[in-house]
């Protein structure tokens, strides 16, 4: 793909503009392929991958076609080859250094989570705003002060950070992260973050997920139209 394709394709080539919805599914395919590879499967059809990922097979094929023609008609996809191509597309053939800010319950849980290294990430620093926590050992890392943020970002070439602080602290932390050069943020704090253009933020919010479940649960409960929502919820 370094060489030009001569034909009708416009100058900006193949992998320009992969739909966001597809990108969000590539990690799912990647994980499924890793699983299949571990179980010794050498090749997989779109139907098999669909079963393993819970994604419609036509959608899956279309997703993969955005990356290029990596399948073989009549055969399927070479598991290892496709796995590598997806990893390359996502950009996780090598580990990204990640830092975590806010070492409370959640921050600790994240720092102990082992699944990162196998999925393209390596936690290089833990930061907390509470001076009393600085210096504390956690696994093989020591909690650093927020004052060391700039030097850590520079030294480790960090571009991705995770925020696990209370909501009230989040925006301040984001501002400092952005100033230090971080350009991708995964936010666990329950607050809306404002960032300059060029910085990506993704949000994970437990309460929101539960509330969405609660909405549907409520509909299941009093099955028909609304029934007697009036005074305290009846629950049945």
Partner DNA sequence: AGGAGTTTGTGAACGCGAGAACAAAATCCA
Partner DNA sequence: TGGATTTTGTTCTCGCGTTCACAAACTCCT
Residues of span 70-99 touching its own copies by CB under 8 A: 81, 84, 88-94, 96, 98
Q: How far apart are the C-alpha atoms of 121 and 115, rounded to whole Å? A: 9
Rounded to 10 degrees, the C-alpha dihedral 113/124/108/184 comes to: -90
Q: Which is nearer to its own copies, 85 or 144 (CB)?
A: 85
Q: Does 142 bind its own copies (CB under 8 A)?
A: no
Q: Does 73 bind DNA (CB under 7 A)?
A: yes
Q: How far apart are the C-alpha atoms of 223 and 219, rounded to whole Å? A: 6
Q: How far apart are the C-alpha atoms of 54 and 57, rounded to whole Å? A: 9
Q: Can you tell me which of 15, 16, 51, 65 binds DNA, judged by CB under 7 A?
A: 65
Instruction: Write the burial class of residue 236 (CB in 10 Å: 0-12 exposed, 13-18 middle, 19+ buried).
Output: exposed
In the complex, the smallest distance separating the C-beta of residue 225 from its own copies, rounded to whole angstroms, is 6
Q: Which is nearer to its own copies, 82 or 134 (CB)?
A: 82
Q: Does 206 bind its own copies (CB under 8 A)?
A: yes
> CB-based contacts of 95: which residues, under 8 Å, 6+ apart?
117, 120, 121, 122
Q: Does 156 bind its own copies (CB under 8 A)?
A: no
By a kind-dependent CB cut-off of 5 to 8 A, residue 154 interacts, out of its own copies, DNA, none, with none
By a kind-dependent CB cut-off of 5 to 8 A, residue 142 interacts, out of DNA, its own copies, none, with none
Q: Which is nearer to DNA, 3 or 73 (CB)?
A: 73
One character per residue 18-57, x = contact with its own copies (rule: CB under 8 A): -----xx-xxx-xxx-------------------xxx---
Helices (H), the chain: 20-38, 46-53, 57-67, 79-90, 105-112, 149-156, 167-180, 206-221
SS3 28: helix
Question: CA quadruple 5, 8, 10, 11: dihedral positive or negative?
Answer: positive
Q: Can you tell me which of 56, 112, 117, 211 binds DNA, judged by CB under 7 A?
A: 56
Q: Does 145 bind its own copies (CB under 8 A)?
A: no
User: Are 96 and 74 contacting, i.e. CB atoms less than 8 angstroms apart?
Assistant: no
Q: Which stretch binds its own copies (CB under 8 A): 56-64, 126-134, 146-154, 211-219?
A: 211-219
**Of residues 186, 176, 187, the one with CA closest to residue 149:** 176
Q: Does 70 bind DNA (CB under 7 A)?
A: yes
Number of amino acids touching its own copies (CB under 8 A): 80
Q: Which stretch binds DNA (CB under 7 A): 74-82, 90-98, 134-142, 145-153?
A: 74-82
* Residue ranges in 8-37 that form contacts with DNA under rule CB under 7 A: 19-22
Number of amino acids touching DNA (CB under 7 A): 25
């Amino acid at each position: 793909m370094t060489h030009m394709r001569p034909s009708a394709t416009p100058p900006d080539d193949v992998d320009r503009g992969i739909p966001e919805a597809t990108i969000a599914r590539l990690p799912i395919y990647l994980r499924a392929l890793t699983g299949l590879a571990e179980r010794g499967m050498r090749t997989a059809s779109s139907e098999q991958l669909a079963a393993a990922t819970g994604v419609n097979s036509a959608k899956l094929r279309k997703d993969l076609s955005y990356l290029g023609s990596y399948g073989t008609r009549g055969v399927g996809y070479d598991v290892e080859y496709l796995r590598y191509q997806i990893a390359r597309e996502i950009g996780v053939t090598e580990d990204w250094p990640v830092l975590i800010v806010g070492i409370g319950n959640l921050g600790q849980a994240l720092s102990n989570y082992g699944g990162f290294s196998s999925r393209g990430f390596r936690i290089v620093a833990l930061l907390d705003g509470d001076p009393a926590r600085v210096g504390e050992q956690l696994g093989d890392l020591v909690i650093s002060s927020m004052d060391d943020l700039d030097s850590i970002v520079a030294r480790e070439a960090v571009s991705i950070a995770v925020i696990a602080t209370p909501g009230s602290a989040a925006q301040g932390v984001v501002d400092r992260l952005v100033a230090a050069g971080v350009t991708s943020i995964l936010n666990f704090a329950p607050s809306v973050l404002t960032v300059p253009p060029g910085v990506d933020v993704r949000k994970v919010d437990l309460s929101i997920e539960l509330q969405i479940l609660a909405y549907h649960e409520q509909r299941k409960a009093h099955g028909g139209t609304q029934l007697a929502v009036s005074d305290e919820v009846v629950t049945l």
